[in-house]
Amino acid sequence: MTFRAAIDEASWQMETSQFACLLSQAIPSYGTGAFEHEAGESVRFILTPTQQQQITGPARLVAEASQWQPGTAPKMLGVVRVKDSSGVIEVPATLAENMLAALYKGMTPTFNTDQWFGSPELLKVGVSAANFQSAYTDYLDCVTGLLPANFRQVARTAILFPSGQAGLSDATRQRLDLIATYVKADNSVQTIYVDGHSDNLGRRLLNRDLSKKRAEEVTRYLVQLGLPEDKIITRYHGERYPVVPNNSVENRARNRRVTVRLEREEGTAL
């Protein structure tokens, strides 16, 4: 059983945004193949069948010659496995990049398995290279415009401070720059919680004041970067909420922190 789009019916669909690029192709009578490139991540390829359990074992991923490439030798790309009973195959970054390279050369990345629906029937599912190069140009333009990070990568941040200090380091400023860039692009982010903490060395009231200074320093910098002040909730807790016991130098260093947490509209996907 062989599934792939014929030359005259193969088409590529592009969905673009600052958050992700999706380049997909319908595979007639089988399902859909799509390259997904999320902001801050590497590209991956997902093969989704219309019916579950079409592929039940490992599949060999081979770049095969297209119809217009007689005599071109196939190239083994790797072995991939089905995600679960859904039959979905997720191809990791390196193999997905090799698939893109093969398509650009006009070859057909093909999934080969010895079991179709659990029977000993050979199955080949190919992704056609027809009309790929123009779609690839659009894909590269989309990737160039992606944000440097996605929501999962900036939603929770812990900023550490040296003992007794509240100033921001260059590394901290770079991290806050990244957070601000994302928040400006994502209107679904409704609230930014900035919470200051300290270790337990010294007097409790002084620690509370120090955690306040740390949190306010972070908030001040975010506002300087252009984030709306009314979106930011600044709190300070002193030594009340350690993430680890204050029983070593290393642990106390982890407790001297400001956490920045982004909250989106309820129901917004990550």
Q: What is the pLDDT of residues 185-218, one digit of tens each?
A: 999 999 999 999 999 999 999 999 999 999 999 9
**β-strand pairing of 189-196 with 232-236:** parallel
The pTM for the full model equals 0.88
174 CB-contact burial (10 Å; exposed 0-12 / middle 13-18 / buried 19+): exposed
Q: What is the CA radius of gyration of the chain?
A: 25
- Give me the long-range contacts of 20-27 (CB less than 8 A, separation at least 24): 20/146, 20/150, 21/139, 21/142, 21/143, 21/146, 23/135, 23/136, 23/138, 23/139, 25/127, 25/128, 27/3, 27/125, 27/126, 27/127
Determine the pLDDT at residue 35: 98
- Per-residue tokens: 263: 């909250």
pLDDT for res 114: 82
Q: Dump strand ranges (E) for 174-256.
A: 189-196, 232-236
Check whether 268 has a pLDDT greater than 70. Answer: no
Indicate the helix (H) or strand (E) that contains 221: helix 204-224
Residue 53 has pLDDT above 70, yes or no: no
The total number of residues shown for the chain amounts to 270
What is the model's pLDDT at position 267? 59
> How far is residue 141's CA from residue 182's CA, in Å, rounded to a whole number?
19
d(CA 176, CA 220): 11
Q: pLDDT tens across 144-189, in order?
A: 999 999 999 999 999 999 999 999 999 999 999 999 999 999 999 9
Tell me, what amino acid is at 97?
E
User: From CA 153, how far away is CA 170, in angstroms rounded?
Assistant: 19
Q: Find out whether 255 and 197 touch, Cβ atoms under 8 Å.
A: yes
At 269 the pLDDT is 57
The reported pLDDT for the residue numbered 57 is 75
CB 226 within 8 A of CB 133: no
Q: Which residues contact 250 (CB under 8 A, 6 or more apart)?
A: none
For the chain, the first-to-last Cα distance in angstroms comes to: 37
Q: Which residues contact 67 (CB under 8 A, 6 or more apart)?
A: 7
Nearest to 72 by CA among 113, 108, 124: 108
pLDDT in tens, 54-85: 777 789 999 999 989 998 999 999 999 887 77
pLDDT score for 118: 64
